[in-house]
Amino acid sequence: MQLISILSLLSSLMCSLTVLGSSASSYVKFPVQKLADIINICTQDVSTVFKRNEVLNTTVINGIGVYVVKMEIGTPPQTLYLQLDTGSSDMIVNNADIAYCKSMSDGSDYASTDNYELTATFNGLPSTTISSEAYNTLCSYWGTFDASNSSTFENNATFFNNTYGDGTYYAGTYGTDVVSFENITLNDFTFGVSNDTIGNPSGILGISLPIAEFTDGIEYALALNRTPFIYDNFPMELKNQGKINKIAYSLFLNGPDAHFGSILFGAVDKSKYTGQLYTLPMLQAFNTLGSNPGMIITAQSVAILDSESGNKTVSDIQFPVMLDSGTTFSYLPTEIAEAIGKSFDGEYSSDDQGYIFDCSKVNDTLLSVDFGGFNISANISNFVTSAKDRCVLNVKQSESTYMLGDAFLVDAYVVYDLENYEISIAQASFNNQEEDIEVISDTVPGATPAPGYFSTWVYKPGSPIGTGDFINVSWTSYSEFSQYKSLLATAAQSDDASSFSSSGGSSESTTKKQNAGYKYRSSFSFSLLSFISYFLL
């Protein structure tokens, strides 16, 4: 029945998608279908009607941390369903001759009988075991790409390989071809064709910054003193080919219980949030690669809110964090995760990799994150899985990369501006109001710099994520901050960042416990001359 549900739902997508946009659209809209599980798929109707004639209506399926969009590739077009991922940057499709899917068919690589079972783990979720027959059907139904059957495909022979956090692996070469979804067509679009895949029968459509592209291995390329192959990915090509005005998109997951959400490329929908939409700068995360920041912002503190005890700050540690819709759970500094778990009188379980506690303690409790003068709150029940009367808090401990995943983002409205390297956030609104969509042409409409915009973490050049230093600085004006951003390219080339000169002086804390494992320089009035001295002395 579960497999039938998958086939039924995907079949409905092929038949019911409606295009109400035009090729001159100034923004592109992907309605998001939410699913309880990639295997246990709901069978509700996925057709949706939109009134605005400039909206592209392409239905997207959303599993736990997984979005799937129908794409057509090549000449003649071949239909594939790809996972839409805000945490990666490449479009990757599985080769029609890939051994992974062929072994699904004959079972040769996985078992000696036709009745073997495979265990799949998606985005860190508990494993789901399904039959070889089901996986073989999934592999063929998501679709694979046969480059030899496309007259417009060109292979550029550039190698890529990558392993995701859930163990999914892709390796192959890049090429270009025609990519279309409904009435939108992208010509000469670059994507990867995987010849070696483990753990995922579908491909991926990554929409993050190009700095996160797999290419031929950025670190490997740099080690060989050659320029990595970095290309214009999906969001960039939407602008390059006139589909949107700005390389930006807004994400609305519509709460944990809703069946539909949306992703808007090139626009913001003011009806989908309440209160002020605040903007924060992305952190400079890949300094050795140039001037572009990564999709990371500053979290100032974390609190637990409930009707009985009110606001209880569990940690005032400042830390860099990703807002990643491709991740289900949240990964926070160990001390913060421990503090949250203990606030529910929980006991840590290494088997569950989370804190176990009495479910009655959940109630209407909220997890609130201060991003610098404003808070976004998510219901703690979003982070909880239960068995009988016991609950597991899925806020994971991490010593390196920190992420707030879907469990947090379902209660937030997030705009990712990939050109200005900014992220805007507001509390999501679930009032089902009439759409109020505005195209993003320059800055995000309705957004304003957060109170803490000018006091944010800056990543020091020369060290990878999780091992380097962050400094905390305060600018005296927006123009001064803009000058700082323009200097990052030069600063990134300096390996001598051991000293910092400030007209006001500063004190450095080297207490790892207080600063999530990073060195922290307390906030001070920032001088541009001092900043230049810091990187050039």
Cβ pair 243, 439 in contact under 8 A: no
Half-sphere exposure of 473 (CA within 13 A, CB side): 25
Structure tokens at 203: 């491909």
Residue 106 falls in the annotated catalytic set: no
Please identify which residue in the block is written with the tokens 């304003």. Answer: 448
Cβ pair 339, 329 in contact under 8 A: no
Nearest residue to 248 via CA among 256, 238, 259: 238
Dihedral angle of Cα 421, 207, 424, 38, to the nearest 10 degrees: -150
Structure tokens at 519: 């060195």
Helix (H, G, I), strand (E, B) or coil at 330: strand
Residue of 85, 90, 269, 406 marked catalytic: 85
* Alpha-carbon 348 to chain mean position: 27
Which H, E and C letters describe 171-228, residue by residue? EEEEEEEEEEECCEEEEEEEEEEEEEEECCCCEEEECCCHHHCCCCCHHHHHHCCCCC
Cβ pair 26, 266 in contact under 8 A: yes
Class of residue 53 by CB neighbours under 10 A (exposed 0-12, middle 13-18, buried 19+): exposed
Structure tokens at 204: 């991926």
Residue 518 DSSP code: S
Residue of 90, 177, 216, 324 marked catalytic: 324
Helix (H, G, I), strand (E, B) or coil at 512: helix
Residue 85 falls in the annotated catalytic set: yes
Q: Any bridge partners for residue 14, and if so which?
A: none
Helices (H), 400-515: 406-409, 478-492
Question: Which residue type sits at 232?
Answer: D
Catalytic residues, by residue number, are 85, 324
